Structure 1
């Protein structure tokens, strides 16, 4: 029996959260299940889902549209009769899970994609313990926090990191390096370290620039920043590169749809995610899993879910969050340790290939679905609207 699944999100970009929704939806659709994506109109996820052939439903998930979204979702639930409702953002979770009350949906899931703390309050306790049936997180840190803070029973919450979609093939490393060098009109023999992902302050890209500057005199590498962010933050980074007199060795690609060749071109991928006000926000970063699959050495900060996958000295190296000195030392160590770095790369690849692919994730999700719905059809009531 095909399972009817509705995903909702209030987010408007196309980062790790939106990629997870889209990739999971594609995998489920290939298995014969029905998908509806509920997202703000004219956002990347909405448009990609529509192009893919998924049913899409517009919802702004803003305060000004709260009532409209609430009642349009109730109408959607009544018409589509889903087995599964999975919410993914703060605002859409509040609205969609509230709208689902009394609608007979067998399984309502709230996915928490970041490690930022959830405040203990009546509304959060209601959201996580009453309005949803099950919680997915992307990191063990988050799972432990929600259990301790909100008292979620362990049988109703599961860490489920986003599974990557392995590419059909990977470019060889030398051609990848030469291609990247060509993008910036550099010598084909130029070597690179860098960052791939959403370019933002919370990802610590400015810290990466400063750490690179500390060791630039000891290595010949250039720094590649692959991805995009706000105009304000990109301007800050470019100003920083100029102030550090590093403009000729720091390069920005802008947004790239296909990132696999960039991982292959890098001799090290760094992720310097920060704690915000002492609280981690990072779940399991897909960019690190992708780099590992591409056999690119990785360095990550000791924040949120990063240590779940970067086991220090085993699958990569960790540094103290917001410590540019420590990061610079780990960068030098990664580039200097040929055999040791290669061993870490191979262990990381085997870990991702065995446990963090879209297939591994999809089968775990289906197991949860089937445990709850047990072939039952949704039973819809005709609730009184007010």
Structure 2
């Protein structure tokens, strides 16, 4: 039997370009490729809306500000009544509070609230309304978050689903040595220079200062350079640069800025590190991508990071905020190449068999069909 074609709307109040926005776009493009109609409602001139428009998706600019909440609510009802979607999926705090009531008012048959981070949610009456009455299901990106929401709101396994972002597999991966030499040439460094690195939003909650301190402690025993790919607030980037100078490692720390194509970066590294602080991470897409690229990984033991990294099996974990423990994991990775290779091969298999865009998309379609088929 041919699968039904759905009309799907995603909303988000977020204005940056990170894992959340990447997830929304990738999922939308996958659904569109399967014949479904997809619309995205987000603040005007944001990277997500611009990229979605370039890909030919239907878009609606929406402020999603506190002062515009009433006008946004009324406009959403008009959009919903005109487009008659089968499914609404919200992705941020502010848009969920506006779009879910509007969707219920417009009688959208399936309403989903996606929770992308692992920060605790308080059990207020209004949050209870969002998670138990206004939405039919909650999608989280980590088992950690799923368990937390079940405990706070007494949700069953049929109401909340852990749905980590599926990666889009690259057409090919270049040899690691080639990408390492290309990065060294880009940074005007001699070959063979080796690298460990970070990719993502460069911010306090990602623990990048912890990374610099951990690298500093390990730097006397390894020849590697540290490369940081991503953007962040200017003040924090300046603090990191000053920290590198204070630690006297500035000649071995490099800030690359945003990288549109992350696959060459991951292939150039001997280790990718995600030192996030407590309570912020789902299962990070950047971590899944690195694992797919057979790049050894180290992560802090928090949120969804521990869902995807099994210590000493698919990677290494260290206690949040402890650069001395991170140093030990860096040395363990670099100084034991045979064990590190074994872990990276297991990590690649884990992603290929459980965390691709096709696997994620089919799981979501199954939920759509089970719900809408029973109405």
CA distance in 2, matches of 1:257, 1:29: 22
Residues 283-325 of structure 1, C-alpha deviations (whole Å, 9 max, x = no match): 0011110000000000000000111110001000000110000
CA distance in 1, matches of 2:182, 2:209: 25
| Matching residue of 1:143 | 146
Q: How many residues align?
A: 372
Report 1 or 2 for greater relative contact order, CA contacts < 8 Å, sequence distance ≥ 6.
Answer: 1
| Matching residue of 1:353 | 352
CA distance in 1, matches of 2:121, 2:98: 17
Q: CA deviation at 1:154?
A: 2.2
| Matching residue of 1:9 | 12
CA distance in 2, matches of 1:352, 1:258: 19
Q: 2:63 aligns with which of 56, 60, 64?
A: 60
CA distance in 2, matches of 1:120, 1:104: 26
Residues 125-160 of structure 1, C-alpha deviations (whole Å, 9 max, x = no match): 001000100000011111111011111222111001
CA distance in 2, matches of 1:237, 1:92: 33
Note if 1:191 corresponds to 2:194: yes
Note if 1:227 corresponds to 2:230: yes
CA distance in 2, matches of 1:49, 1:119: 33
Note if 1:37 corresponds to 2:36: no
| Matching residue of 2:311 | 312
CA distance in 1, matches of 2:78, 2:288: 39
Q: 2:165 aligns with which of 139, 162, 166?
A: 162
Q: CA deviation at 1:215?
A: 1.2
| Matching residue of 2:99 | 96
Mapping of residues 174-185 of structure 1, within 5 Å: 174-185=177-188
Q: CA deviation at 1:196?
A: 0.9
Q: CA 1:152–1:364 in 2, change beyond 3 Å: closer, same or farther?
A: same
| Matching residue of 1:329 | 328
Residues 173-210 of structure 1, C-alpha deviations (whole Å, 9 max, x = no match): 11101111112111121000010111111111110001
| Matching residue of 1:217 | 220
**SS of alignment partner, residue 158 of structure 2:** helix
CA distance in 2, matches of 1:281, 1:226: 19
Q: Indicate if the aligned counterparts of 2:301 and 2:320 stay in contact, CA closer than 8 A.
A: yes
Note if 1:206 corresponds to 2:189: no
| Matching residue of 2:75 | 72
Note if 1:285 corresponds to 2:288: no
Q: CA deviation at 1:98?
A: 1.2
Q: How high is the TM-score relative to the length of structure 2? A: 0.98
Q: CA deviation at 1:375?
A: 8.4
CA distance in 1, matches of 2:90, 2:364: 14
| Matching residue of 2:265 | 262
Residues 341-379 of structure 1, C-alpha deviations (whole Å, 9 max, x = no match): 111000000000010000000000000011111186xxx
Note if 1:241 corresponds to 2:240: no
CA distance in 2, matches of 1:77, 1:332: 55
Q: 2:27 aligns with which of 20, 24, 27?
A: 24
**SS of alignment partner, residue 340 of structure 1:** helix
Q: CA deviation at 1:49?
A: 0.5
Q: CA deviation at 1:102?
A: 2.7
Note if 1:342 corresponds to 2:341: yes
**SS of alignment partner, residue 346 of structure 1:** helix
**SS of alignment partner, residue 117 of structure 1:** coil
RMSD: 0.9
Residues 35-66 of structure 1, C-alpha deviations (whole Å, 9 max, x = no match): 00000000000000011111100111101111
**SS of alignment partner, residue 271 of structure 2:** strand
Q: CA deviation at 1:103?
A: 1.5
CA distance in 2, matches of 1:254, 1:375: 48
Structure 2 unaligned blocks of 5 or more: none
Q: How high is the TM-score relative to the length of structure 1? A: 0.95
Q: Indicate if the aligned counterparts of 2:77 and 2:105 stay in contact, CA closer than 8 A.
A: no
| Matching residue of 1:134 | 137
Q: Indicate if the aligned counterparts of 2:273 and 2:299 stay in contact, CA closer than 8 A.
A: yes
